[in-house]
Amino acid sequence: MDLKTVALRRLEPLKGACPEPVEGGVRGIFWLSWLVAALGFAVLAAFAASTDYFPGDLGLAHRLQDANAAPFTDALDWASRLADLPLVTVVGLAAALGLWLLARPAEALWLVVALPLPLLSGLVKALVDRPRPSAALVEVSEKAGGSSFPSGHVTTAVVVYGLLFYLAALVIPQRGLRYLAQLACLALIVLTGLQRVHAGVHWPSDVLGSLLLGGLLLSLLIWSHRRFARRRRTAA
């Protein structure tokens, strides 16, 4: 038996071990990225608690409010309504029912679990206690109570429609229909953020904080679902 054959036989048991370190490395990168994003959100929230608005907030808000074309404002209003708590709950539960009928009960459960998560933004609002934009600084076209940072609408849109974006990739086999559904989810998230500033109820930095908070929650949902799916495949 030559040396090459001996070496190959010794390496044989290691073939199945290769994915483990790779998977562990990806997991480590995920958690490191998540912690960095969480730290960034904490820093942003701390600054928001100490100042009514950031440099650049006022200028960006004025520029956005200068855009008053009817189709644009109508799109903003529709997106914001679909991110409002009563309607987004109906959308989420309807989508969960659809997933259940498609024999995807785990995905339906994940969507139901996601629906109350954006309420955590209310806790952050209470801690930061940032005042909403003043009518003396921007045009306020919508009444809103409570604190300004972060936006509950935007956090909700990121969590719910972000999760629907992810689930669409798993359950819609037709490429065109899948891309259309994902584009709609992205549009709702972007337009909701723009609408909250356009209506004068949030600063751009509030929306940025909401994107970070929603992204943190969404990434945990996706990570937990992928982990569950991987274990289910392994058990099968």
Quick one: pLDDT at residue 234? 81
Tell me the pLDDT tens digit for each residue of 60-77.
999 999 999 999 999 999
150 DSSP 8-state letter: S
Would you state the structure tokens that stand for residue 17, as one six-digit string?
């071990």
pLDDT at 17 > cutoff 90: no
Q: Closest Cα partner for 193 from 183, 181, 205, 184?
A: 205
Distance CA 111, CA 104 (A): 11
SS3 breakdown of the chain: % helix, strand, coil, rounded to 5? 80, 0, 20
> Where do the domains of the chain lie?
25-235
Q: At what angle do helices 105-114 and 204-235 cross, to 10 degrees?
A: 150
Tell me the pLDDT tens digit for each residue of 129-172.
999 999 999 999 998 888 999 999 999 999 999 999 999 999 99
